[in-house]
């Protein structure tokens, strides 16, 4: 099969992903094989490619926003039929036995494996996954529009939950890429007043189109304090700006898997008055189930820019340069 293979981590400007042939994967017991139709590109992919995250077992096929058709079943796999369209997100497998798995926090499992990181992912024509970690996709989404729901959507939804935002409250979103452009649609559906902070005028324009009541940069003073906020950008210093805009008793959720160093905080200015600062770590299967159901009900409209598989390096470069409106998606088969 054809794949974009990461052999060596280096700057995306150096085109580290190699378009090549690798052996077709075979599904094991309880697994299904997918003919990949589309794979979204995520900032985590960029961190993997450039070495911010140490990817185990190079060479690796990255990618974890996968939509595909079941084309082969392993022994005992019965949940899906051949030809079913399913999705695969970042969470690939957990142990199912530890205290985290048994308490609804499987995203914190010490033995968790992640798609396109510990195992080969979706920058390829075929991939395999445990059927218990795959999801039926809502019918009315195209392949390209469905793909971003599987990470941008899932992690944005979990971040909203952990920010403790309530319907009708005021929400701040810092950074406005693929994940935020899904999260804002959920927040608007909940009747929230949304303020978006982004350095990109094009991204601020998209935010207003999707329902933001105010937009500006992180240095601009919003009309009022926000009850909750989600910080999507991998910029540590932005954390302090977000805390300064947070109402007393509010929560700031950090939704990045990687972030540059957070500067020293002033306790009185940034954290006092019972403000909460928390990170978001992956997402559970229940998060994926819930956002896919909600996306179908709203319905969420994902803005996508389409690329071919062999153009993955260029797509990641455009992402790095904040030139992607909404989400980048590769159409593969």
Give 177-210 as a DSSP string: SHHHHHHHHHHHHTT-EEEEE-S-HHHHHHHHHT
Same structural domain, 286 and 144: yes
Same structural domain, 190 and 287: no
Q: How many domains does the chain have?
A: 2
Domain-ending residue, one of 279, 299, 314: 279
β-strand partners of 171: 194, 228
Same structural domain, 186 and 225: yes
Same structural domain, 35 and 106: yes
Instruction: Tell me which residue of 69, 107, 108 sits closest to 91, measured CA to CA.
Output: 107
User: Each residue of 62-89: pLDDT tens digit?
Assistant: 999 999 999 999 999 999 999 999 999 9
Domain-ending residue, one of 264, 279, 294: 279
The enclosing domain of 67 has a CATH number of 3.90.180.10
Q: Is the pLDDT of residue 238 over 90?
A: yes
Same structural domain, 164 and 195: yes
User: Each residue of 205-222: pLDDT tens digit?
Assistant: 999 999 999 999 999 999
Q: Is the pLDDT of residue 51 over 90?
A: yes
- Average pLDDT estimate for 94-104: 98
Same structural domain, 168 and 265: yes
**Cis omega (within 30 of 0) for bond into 299:** yes
Residue 117's pLDDT band (cuts 50, 70, 90): very high
Same structural domain, 117 and 251: no
pLDDT given for residue 136 in this prediction = 97
3-state secondary structure of 231: strand
Same structural domain, 101 and 197: no
For residue 119, give its domain range: 2-150+282-331
Tokens, residue 22 = 């690798």
pTM for the full predicted model = 0.94
Q: Is the pLDDT of residue 29 over 90?
A: yes
Contact 278, 255 (CB under 8 A): no
Residues 6+ apart with CB under 8 A from 90: 42, 44, 64, 114, 115, 116, 117, 150, 151, 154, 155, 282, 283
The enclosing domain of 244 has a CATH number of 3.40.50.720
Q: Is the pLDDT of residue 333 over 90?
A: no
Greatest Cα-to-Cα distance within the chain, rounded to the nearest angstrom:
59
Whole-angstrom distance, CA of residue 289 vs CA of residue 181: 19
pLDDT, averaged across the chain: 97
Same structural domain, 127 and 29: yes
How do beta strands 226-231 and 214-216 pair?
unpaired
User: Each residue of 133-145: pLDDT tens digit?
Assistant: 999 999 989 999 9
Same structural domain, 84 and 40: yes
DSSP 11-58: -GGG--EEEEE-PPP---TTEEEEEEEEEEE-HHHHHHHHTSS--TTS
User: Each residue of 156-203: pLDDT tens digit?
Assistant: 999 999 999 999 999 999 999 999 999 999 999 999 999 999 999 999
Same structural domain, 178 and 116: no
Q: Is the pLDDT of residue 242 over 90?
A: yes
Residue 247's pLDDT band (cuts 50, 70, 90): very high
Same structural domain, 229 and 316: no
Whole-angstrom distance, CA of residue 25 vs CA of residue 36: 12
pLDDT given for residue 6 in this prediction = 98
pLDDT given for residue 19 in this prediction = 98
């Amino acid at each position: 099969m054809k794949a974009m293979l990461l052999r060596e981590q280096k700057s995306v400007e150096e085109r580290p992903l190699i378009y090549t042939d690798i052996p077709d994967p075979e599904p094991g017991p309880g697994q299904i094989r997918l003919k990949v139709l589309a794979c979204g590109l995520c900032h985590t992919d960029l961190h993997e490619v450039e070495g911010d995250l140490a990817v185990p077992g190079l060479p690796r096929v990255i990618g974890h926003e996968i939509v595909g058709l079941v084309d082969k079943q392993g022994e005992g796999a019965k949940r899906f039929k051949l030809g079913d369209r399913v999705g695969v997100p970042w969470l690939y497998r957990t142990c199912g036995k530890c205290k985290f798995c048994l308490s609804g926090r499987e995203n914190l499992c010490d033995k968790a494996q992640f798609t396109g990181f510990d195992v080969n992912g979706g920058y390829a024509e075929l991939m395999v996954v445990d059927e218990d970690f795959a999801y039926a996709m809502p019918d009315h989404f195209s392949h390209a529009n469905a793909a971003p729901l599987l990470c941008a959507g899932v992690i944005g939804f979990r971040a909203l939950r952990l920010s403790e935002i309530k319907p009708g409250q005021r929400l701040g979103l810092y950074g406005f890429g693929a994940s935020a452009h899904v999260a804002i649609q959920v927040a608007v559906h909940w009747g929230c007043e949304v303020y978006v902070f982004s350095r990109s005028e094009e991204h601020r324009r998209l935010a207003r189109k999707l329902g933001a009541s105010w937009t500006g940069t992180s240095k601009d003073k919003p009309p009022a304090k926000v009850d909750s906020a989600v910080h999507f950008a991998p910029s540590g210093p932005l954390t302090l700006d977000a805390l300064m805009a947070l109402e007393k008793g509010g929560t700031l959720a950090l939704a990045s898997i990687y972030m540059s160093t957070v500067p020293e905080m002033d306790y009185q200015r940034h954290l006092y008055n019972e403000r909460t600062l928390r990170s978001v770590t992956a997402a559970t299967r229940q998060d994926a189930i819930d956002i896919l159901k909600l996306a179908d009900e709203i319905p969420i409209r994902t803005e996508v820019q389409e690329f071919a598989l062999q153009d993955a390096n260029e797509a990641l470069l455009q992402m790095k340069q904040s030139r992607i409106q909404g989400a980048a998606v590769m159409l593969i088969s």
